[in-house]
Amino acid sequence: MAEVAGEAGVARSTVYRYFASRDELILALLLGRMDAALDAVVRGLPHPHSAAESIPDLILEPIGLVEGNPLNEALFSPESSASVTWLELTAEALVDAVLRHYGPLMEGWQASGQLHPDLDLRETVRWMNAVSLIMLSPPWRGRDREWKRRFLEHYLVRALVAGETGPPGRARRAAPLVLR
């Protein structure tokens, strides 16, 4: 907090007036950045009426915004990831932010029978956030986008999309995904 106050040119007490803790400060930073990013992700979906085609993009596009952006890289660096992971998994404000953007899509997919009817969309968003965090972790970060897409199609899409038995848009007998 002292570093933030120094960078902002204010007293540390001023920072504490707005943010009670470091976690609250990081949460506010994440929420501000997420809103604009998620709006752009939803507007940029190539197939917004298709759950099977769009779900991987709802994960891959936001995580793709981390690389090459110094602030995002700092937020998701190995030194910061424990705090960010805790915030992502426990902060209802983050789930609310994602639901604000993804909720209308998901409700439409569920109403049209594309998503399993018994899915709780709030919990589904929480689960999707967890998958995103896993993909931002060091063991997964180095994998290429196509590998990550195959993983999401093979596991996440199958779990969420009703009647989906294999990767969308691909032959049902595609080569099995090997986790190495």
Classify residue 177: in a domain, yes or no: no
67 assigned to some structural domain: yes
pTM (2 decimals)? Answer: 0.77
pLDDT at 153: 96
Lowest model confidence (mean pLDDT) among 46-60, 121-135, 142-156, 160-174: 160-174
pLDDT tens, residue by residue, 116-145: 999 999 999 999 988 988 888 878 888 999
DSSP letters, the chain, are: -HHHHHHHTS-HHHHHHH-SSHHHHHHHHHHHHHHHHHHHHHHT-S-TT-HHHHHHHHHHHHHHTTTT-HHHHHHTSTTTHHHHHHHHHH-HHHHHHHHHHHHHHHHHHHHTTSB-TT--HHHHHHHHHHHHHHHHSHHHHTS-HHHHHHHIIIIIIHHHBTT--S-TTS-TTPPPP---
More reliable by pLDDT, 105 or 19: 105
Q: What is the CATH number of the domain that holds 65?
A: 1.10.357
pLDDT at 29 over 60: yes
Residue 37's domain comprises 23-160
Residue 98: inside a domain, yes or no?
Answer: yes
